[in-house]
Structure 1
Amino acid sequence: MTATPAARRDPVVGVGALLVRSDGAVLIGHRIKRGEPESWCLPGGHVEAGETFEEAAVREIAEESGIHEVAEARAFTVALHTGGDRTQVTAGVLARLEAPDAVATTPEPEVFDRWIWARPDELPAPLFPASAALLAAWRGDPAAGGWTVYPTADVTARR
Protein backbone atom coordinates (compact mmCIF):
# COMPACT_ATOMS: atom_id res chain seq x y z
CA MET A 1 0.00 0.00 0.00
CA THR A 2 1.27 3.45 -0.92
CA ALA A 3 1.30 6.14 1.75
CA THR A 4 -0.77 9.21 0.96
CA PRO A 5 1.08 12.51 1.33
CA ALA A 6 -0.29 14.58 4.20
CA ALA A 7 -0.88 17.55 1.88
CA ARG A 8 -3.33 15.64 -0.36
CA ARG A 9 -6.93 16.69 0.01
CA ASP A 10 -10.04 14.56 -0.44
CA PRO A 11 -11.16 13.94 -4.03
CA VAL A 12 -13.89 16.14 -5.44
CA VAL A 13 -16.72 15.12 -7.79
CA GLY A 14 -18.01 17.86 -10.03
CA VAL A 15 -19.98 18.53 -13.16
CA GLY A 16 -19.59 20.89 -16.10
CA ALA A 17 -22.52 21.70 -18.37
CA LEU A 18 -22.31 22.36 -22.08
CA LEU A 19 -25.53 24.25 -22.65
CA VAL A 20 -25.96 24.44 -26.42
CA ARG A 21 -28.17 26.93 -28.22
CA SER A 22 -29.97 26.01 -31.48
CA ASP A 23 -27.22 27.72 -33.54
CA GLY A 24 -24.54 25.53 -31.90
CA ALA A 25 -23.15 28.21 -29.57
CA VAL A 26 -22.32 27.20 -25.99
CA LEU A 27 -22.81 29.19 -22.80
CA ILE A 28 -19.56 30.17 -21.12
CA GLY A 29 -18.96 32.53 -18.22
CA HIS A 30 -16.13 34.84 -17.23
CA ARG A 31 -15.02 33.43 -13.86
CA ILE A 32 -13.65 35.98 -11.37
CA LYS A 33 -13.65 33.93 -8.17
CA ARG A 34 -11.37 35.43 -5.52
CA GLY A 35 -8.09 33.55 -5.08
CA GLU A 36 -8.16 32.06 -8.58
CA PRO A 37 -6.87 33.40 -11.88
CA GLU A 38 -9.61 34.81 -14.11
CA SER A 39 -10.79 32.33 -16.73
CA TRP A 40 -13.72 31.30 -18.90
CA CYS A 41 -15.79 28.48 -17.49
CA LEU A 42 -18.78 26.32 -18.27
CA PRO A 43 -21.60 26.35 -15.71
CA GLY A 44 -20.83 23.71 -13.12
CA GLY A 45 -19.73 22.80 -9.66
CA HIS A 46 -19.89 20.07 -7.06
CA VAL A 47 -22.35 17.21 -7.32
CA GLU A 48 -24.48 17.24 -4.18
CA ALA A 49 -25.49 14.12 -2.27
CA GLY A 50 -28.35 12.32 -3.98
CA GLU A 51 -27.91 14.08 -7.35
CA THR A 52 -27.22 12.56 -10.73
CA PHE A 53 -24.72 14.29 -12.99
CA GLU A 54 -27.62 15.58 -15.09
CA GLU A 55 -29.52 16.95 -12.08
CA ALA A 56 -26.38 18.68 -10.82
CA ALA A 57 -25.75 20.24 -14.25
CA VAL A 58 -29.29 21.61 -14.56
CA ARG A 59 -29.11 22.99 -11.00
CA GLU A 60 -25.71 24.62 -11.61
CA ILE A 61 -26.88 26.21 -14.87
CA ALA A 62 -29.82 27.80 -13.02
CA GLU A 63 -27.76 28.85 -9.98
CA GLU A 64 -24.90 30.38 -11.96
CA SER A 65 -26.63 31.82 -15.04
CA GLY A 66 -30.30 32.13 -14.07
CA ILE A 67 -31.32 29.97 -17.05
CA HIS A 68 -34.00 27.39 -16.23
CA GLU A 69 -35.03 26.49 -19.79
CA VAL A 70 -32.87 23.38 -20.18
CA ALA A 71 -33.76 20.13 -21.97
CA GLU A 72 -32.18 16.81 -22.85
CA ALA A 73 -29.40 16.91 -20.26
CA ARG A 74 -27.18 13.86 -20.72
CA ALA A 75 -23.73 12.93 -19.41
CA PHE A 76 -21.28 12.45 -22.29
CA THR A 77 -17.88 12.11 -20.64
CA VAL A 78 -16.06 11.86 -17.35
CA ALA A 79 -12.79 13.76 -16.99
CA LEU A 80 -10.20 12.74 -14.41
CA HIS A 81 -7.42 15.01 -13.17
CA THR A 82 -4.88 13.39 -10.88
CA GLY A 83 -2.25 16.13 -10.72
CA GLY A 84 -1.96 18.61 -7.91
CA ASP A 85 -3.06 18.06 -4.35
CA ARG A 86 -6.47 16.55 -5.13
CA THR A 87 -8.02 14.12 -7.56
CA GLN A 88 -10.85 15.73 -9.51
CA VAL A 89 -13.60 13.77 -11.23
CA THR A 90 -15.73 16.01 -13.46
CA ALA A 91 -18.65 14.74 -15.52
CA GLY A 92 -19.49 16.57 -18.71
CA VAL A 93 -23.21 17.00 -19.34
CA LEU A 94 -24.53 18.12 -22.70
CA ALA A 95 -27.85 19.98 -22.59
CA ARG A 96 -30.00 21.93 -25.01
CA LEU A 97 -31.36 25.42 -24.43
CA GLU A 98 -35.13 25.00 -24.61
CA ALA A 99 -36.10 28.67 -24.95
CA PRO A 100 -34.18 30.56 -27.66
CA ASP A 101 -34.89 33.88 -25.95
CA ALA A 102 -33.48 32.84 -22.55
CA VAL A 103 -31.03 35.40 -21.21
CA ALA A 104 -28.16 34.58 -18.87
CA THR A 105 -27.84 36.75 -15.76
CA THR A 106 -25.23 36.86 -12.99
CA PRO A 107 -26.90 35.57 -9.79
CA GLU A 108 -23.41 34.89 -8.36
CA PRO A 109 -21.54 38.11 -9.24
CA GLU A 110 -18.66 37.17 -6.94
CA VAL A 111 -17.97 34.14 -9.17
CA PHE A 112 -19.06 35.24 -12.69
CA ASP A 113 -19.23 38.79 -14.01
CA ARG A 114 -20.76 37.88 -17.39
CA TRP A 115 -21.97 35.07 -19.62
CA ILE A 116 -21.63 34.86 -23.38
CA TRP A 117 -22.66 32.48 -26.14
CA ALA A 118 -19.60 31.34 -28.09
CA ARG A 119 -19.11 29.13 -31.10
CA PRO A 120 -17.12 25.99 -30.19
CA ASP A 121 -14.33 27.01 -32.58
CA GLU A 122 -14.17 30.59 -31.22
CA LEU A 123 -13.95 30.11 -27.45
CA PRO A 124 -12.42 32.83 -25.30
CA ALA A 125 -9.23 32.15 -23.35
CA PRO A 126 -7.97 31.19 -20.93
CA LEU A 127 -10.35 28.35 -20.17
CA PHE A 128 -10.89 26.99 -16.66
CA PRO A 129 -8.98 23.66 -16.66
CA ALA A 130 -11.97 21.34 -16.11
CA SER A 131 -13.98 23.24 -18.72
CA ALA A 132 -11.10 22.93 -21.20
CA ALA A 133 -11.00 19.16 -20.66
CA LEU A 134 -14.76 18.79 -21.18
CA LEU A 135 -14.81 21.02 -24.25
CA ALA A 136 -11.89 19.07 -25.74
CA ALA A 137 -13.75 15.79 -25.16
CA TRP A 138 -16.89 17.23 -26.78
CA ARG A 139 -14.95 18.40 -29.84
CA GLY A 140 -12.98 15.15 -30.07
CA ASP A 141 -9.68 16.88 -29.28
CA PRO A 142 -7.03 15.57 -26.88
CA ALA A 143 -7.31 16.78 -23.30
CA ALA A 144 -4.60 18.97 -21.77
CA GLY A 145 -1.82 17.38 -19.75
CA GLY A 146 -2.92 15.90 -16.45
CA TRP A 147 -6.47 15.19 -17.69
CA THR A 148 -7.84 11.88 -18.93
CA VAL A 149 -11.31 11.77 -20.48
CA TYR A 150 -13.58 8.76 -20.61
CA PRO A 151 -16.39 9.07 -23.16
CA THR A 152 -19.76 7.78 -22.00
CA ALA A 153 -21.87 8.61 -25.07
CA ASP A 154 -21.47 9.58 -28.72
CA VAL A 155 -22.29 13.28 -28.86
CA THR A 156 -21.16 14.03 -32.39
CA ALA A 157 -24.71 13.80 -33.71
CA ARG A 158 -25.90 16.33 -31.10
CA ARG A 159 -23.36 19.09 -31.81
Structure 2
Amino acid sequence: MDTVPARNSRPPLAQAALGVRVLVQDGRGRILLGRHHSGTWELPGGKVDPTHESIAAAAVRELREETGLEAAAHEVRVFAMLHDAVHGINRVTMAALVAVEDGTARVTEPHLISTWQWIRPEDLPAPLFDPSAQIIAAWRPDLGIAHPPVHRLDIATGSARSAGGAEDPDTTQAQPYIP
Protein backbone atom coordinates (compact mmCIF):
# COMPACT_ATOMS: atom_id res chain seq x y z
CA MET A 1 0.00 0.00 0.00
CA ASP A 2 1.38 3.41 -0.97
CA THR A 3 1.84 5.97 1.77
CA VAL A 4 0.46 9.39 0.90
CA PRO A 5 1.89 12.28 2.92
CA ALA A 6 -0.68 14.15 4.96
CA ARG A 7 -1.63 17.46 3.38
CA ASN A 8 -1.58 19.20 6.73
CA SER A 9 2.04 18.30 7.41
CA ARG A 10 3.42 20.08 4.34
CA PRO A 11 4.18 23.79 4.72
CA PRO A 12 2.53 26.13 2.23
CA LEU A 13 4.66 27.98 -0.26
CA ALA A 14 5.60 31.36 1.18
CA GLN A 15 3.91 34.10 -0.81
CA ALA A 16 2.85 36.68 1.75
CA ALA A 17 4.20 38.93 4.46
CA LEU A 18 2.08 39.59 7.55
CA GLY A 19 2.52 42.75 9.56
CA VAL A 20 0.72 45.10 11.90
CA ARG A 21 0.70 48.90 12.12
CA VAL A 22 -0.44 50.57 15.32
CA LEU A 23 -2.49 53.72 15.18
CA VAL A 24 -1.86 55.22 18.63
CA GLN A 25 -4.30 57.95 19.62
CA ASP A 26 -3.88 60.16 22.68
CA GLY A 27 -6.55 61.80 24.84
CA ARG A 28 -6.44 64.93 22.66
CA GLY A 29 -7.24 63.00 19.45
CA ARG A 30 -3.70 63.17 18.06
CA ILE A 31 -1.93 60.19 16.51
CA LEU A 32 1.68 59.14 16.88
CA LEU A 33 3.90 59.25 13.78
CA GLY A 34 7.61 58.60 13.44
CA ARG A 35 9.96 60.26 10.96
CA HIS A 36 11.93 57.51 9.21
CA HIS A 37 15.42 58.35 8.00
CA SER A 38 14.19 57.77 4.44
CA GLY A 39 11.97 60.84 4.87
CA THR A 40 8.58 59.14 5.26
CA TRP A 41 6.32 59.42 8.29
CA GLU A 42 4.95 56.17 9.67
CA LEU A 43 2.95 54.48 12.37
CA PRO A 44 4.74 52.10 14.73
CA GLY A 45 4.61 48.52 13.56
CA GLY A 46 6.32 45.60 11.93
CA LYS A 47 6.16 41.89 11.27
CA VAL A 48 4.10 39.40 13.22
CA ASP A 49 6.25 36.59 14.63
CA PRO A 50 4.98 33.45 12.85
CA THR A 51 5.85 31.07 15.66
CA HIS A 52 3.75 32.28 18.56
CA GLU A 53 2.29 35.74 18.27
CA SER A 54 -1.25 37.04 17.88
CA ILE A 55 -1.91 40.29 16.01
CA ALA A 56 -2.67 42.10 19.29
CA ALA A 57 0.50 40.75 20.91
CA ALA A 58 2.57 41.85 17.90
CA ALA A 59 1.02 45.34 18.09
CA VAL A 60 1.90 45.62 21.78
CA ARG A 61 5.45 44.33 21.21
CA GLU A 62 6.12 46.62 18.24
CA LEU A 63 4.72 49.63 20.11
CA ARG A 64 6.97 48.94 23.11
CA GLU A 65 10.07 48.14 21.02
CA GLU A 66 9.76 51.18 18.76
CA THR A 67 8.40 53.87 21.13
CA GLY A 68 8.74 52.66 24.70
CA LEU A 69 4.96 53.08 25.15
CA GLU A 70 3.16 50.29 26.97
CA ALA A 71 -0.23 48.76 26.24
CA ALA A 72 -1.91 45.46 27.02
CA ALA A 73 -3.13 43.10 24.30
CA HIS A 74 -6.75 43.49 25.49
CA GLU A 75 -6.45 47.26 24.84
CA VAL A 76 -5.67 46.71 21.15
CA ARG A 77 -8.57 46.97 18.69
CA VAL A 78 -7.79 45.38 15.34
CA PHE A 79 -10.13 47.18 12.95
CA ALA A 80 -9.07 46.28 9.40
CA MET A 81 -7.01 43.93 7.29
CA LEU A 82 -5.38 45.56 4.29
CA HIS A 83 -3.95 43.59 1.38
CA ASP A 84 -1.78 44.79 -1.49
CA ALA A 85 1.27 43.47 -3.34
CA VAL A 86 4.84 44.71 -3.41
CA HIS A 87 7.34 43.20 -5.87
CA GLY A 88 5.11 40.14 -6.38
CA ILE A 89 4.68 39.42 -2.65
CA ASN A 90 1.27 39.71 -1.04
CA ARG A 91 1.49 42.19 1.84
CA VAL A 92 -1.16 41.78 4.52
CA THR A 93 -1.16 44.58 7.07
CA MET A 94 -3.39 44.43 10.10
CA ALA A 95 -4.59 47.82 11.32
CA ALA A 96 -4.65 48.17 15.09
CA LEU A 97 -5.83 51.04 17.26
CA VAL A 98 -4.55 51.75 20.77
CA ALA A 99 -5.79 54.63 22.90
CA VAL A 100 -3.46 56.18 25.47
CA GLU A 101 -4.34 59.10 27.68
CA ASP A 102 -0.92 60.63 27.15
CA GLY A 103 2.65 59.47 26.84
CA THR A 104 6.08 60.38 25.70
CA ALA A 105 7.34 58.20 22.89
CA ARG A 106 11.09 57.60 22.86
CA VAL A 107 13.26 56.95 19.84
CA THR A 108 14.41 53.42 20.64
CA GLU A 109 15.64 52.57 17.14
CA PRO A 110 17.66 55.65 16.13
CA HIS A 111 19.03 53.84 13.07
CA LEU A 112 15.44 53.86 11.68
CA ILE A 113 13.44 56.69 13.29
CA SER A 114 14.70 60.19 14.07
CA THR A 115 11.68 61.42 16.05
CA TRP A 116 8.19 60.49 17.23
CA GLN A 117 5.55 63.22 17.21
CA TRP A 118 1.91 63.53 18.25
CA ILE A 119 0.07 65.02 15.27
CA ARG A 120 -3.53 66.05 14.71
CA PRO A 121 -5.03 63.88 11.95
CA GLU A 122 -6.02 67.06 10.08
CA ASP A 123 -2.34 68.17 10.02
CA LEU A 124 -0.66 65.02 8.70
CA PRO A 125 2.87 65.49 7.35
CA ALA A 126 3.99 64.15 3.99
CA PRO A 127 5.07 61.83 2.65
CA LEU A 128 3.46 59.01 4.58
CA PHE A 129 4.79 55.44 4.40
CA ASP A 130 2.28 53.62 2.14
CA PRO A 131 0.97 51.08 4.72
CA SER A 132 0.59 53.89 7.27
CA ALA A 133 -1.31 56.05 4.77
CA GLN A 134 -3.57 53.10 3.93
CA ILE A 135 -4.34 52.47 7.60
CA ILE A 136 -4.99 56.10 8.46
CA ALA A 137 -7.30 56.33 5.43
CA ALA A 138 -9.15 53.18 6.58
CA TRP A 139 -9.57 54.72 10.03
CA ARG A 140 -10.53 58.21 8.83
CA PRO A 141 -11.68 58.15 5.18
CA ASP A 142 -12.87 61.76 5.60
CA LEU A 143 -9.22 62.94 5.58
CA GLY A 144 -8.90 62.18 1.85
CA ILE A 145 -5.41 60.68 2.14
CA ALA A 146 -3.86 59.62 -1.17
CA HIS A 147 -2.36 56.13 -1.08
CA PRO A 148 -1.68 53.17 -3.37
CA PRO A 149 -4.65 50.89 -4.03
CA VAL A 150 -5.35 48.37 -1.30
CA HIS A 151 -7.99 45.73 -0.62
CA ARG A 152 -9.69 46.33 2.69
CA LEU A 153 -11.61 44.04 5.00
CA ASP A 154 -13.17 45.74 8.01
CA ILE A 155 -12.96 43.75 11.23
CA ALA A 156 -15.15 43.78 14.31
CA THR A 157 -13.39 42.46 17.39
CA GLY A 158 -15.39 39.86 19.19
CA SER A 159 -14.92 37.50 22.03
CA ALA A 160 -14.49 34.02 20.64
CA ARG A 161 -12.90 30.73 21.56
CA SER A 162 -9.63 29.54 20.08
CA ALA A 163 -9.24 25.98 18.83
CA GLY A 164 -8.05 25.00 22.31
CA GLY A 165 -11.26 26.27 23.89
CA ALA A 166 -9.84 29.34 25.65
CA GLU A 167 -11.27 32.78 25.04
CA ASP A 168 -9.17 34.56 22.43
CA PRO A 169 -9.40 38.38 22.50
CA ASP A 170 -7.56 38.55 19.17
CA THR A 171 -10.26 36.62 17.29
CA THR A 172 -12.14 38.73 14.83
CA GLN A 173 -15.20 38.55 12.66
CA ALA A 174 -15.22 39.93 9.16
CA GLN A 175 -17.69 42.70 8.47
CA PRO A 176 -18.67 43.91 5.01
CA TYR A 177 -17.07 47.14 3.85
CA ILE A 178 -19.67 49.61 2.66
CA PRO A 179 -18.17 52.79 1.17
- Shorter-chain TM-score bucket reads 0.7 to 0.9
Question: TM-score, normalised on structure 1?
Answer: 0.80
Q: Which runs of 4+ in 1 moved over 3 A?
A: none
Whether the 8 Å contact between 2:134 and 2:148 is mirrored in structure 1 is no
Using the TM superposition, name which of 78-87 and 64-73 deviates more: 64-73
Instruction: Give the secondary-structure state (helix, strand or coil) at the position aligned to 1:16.
Output: strand
TM-aligned CA deviation for residue 107 of structure 1: 0.8
Asked which structure has the greater CA Rg, the reply is 2
Contact 1:77–1:137 at 8 Å: present in 2 too? yes
In the other structure, the counterpart of 2:60 is 58
Is contact 1:82-1:146 (8 Å) kept?
no
Larger mean CA deviation between 139-148 and 51-60 belongs to: 139-148
Alignment-derived partner of residue 5 in structure 1:
none
**5+ residue gaps in structure 1?**
1-8, 155-159
Q: CA deviation at 1:21?
A: 0.2
How far apart, in 2, do the equivalents of 1:82 and 1:116 lie? Answer: 29
Superposition map of 1:118-157 within 5 A: 118-140=119-141, 144-153=147-156
1:88 to 76, 91, 102: 91
TM-superposed CA distance for 1:114, in Å, is 0.3
Aligned to 1:43: 44
Q: Over aligned residue pairs, what C-alpha RMSD do you find?
A: 2.0
Instruction: State the number of aligned residues.
Output: 140
Q: Offset of 1:74 from its aligned partner?
A: 1.1
Q: Which residue of 1 aligns with 2:115?
A: 114
TM-score, normalised on structure 2?
0.72
Cα distance between partner residues in 2 of 1:59 and 1:13: 15
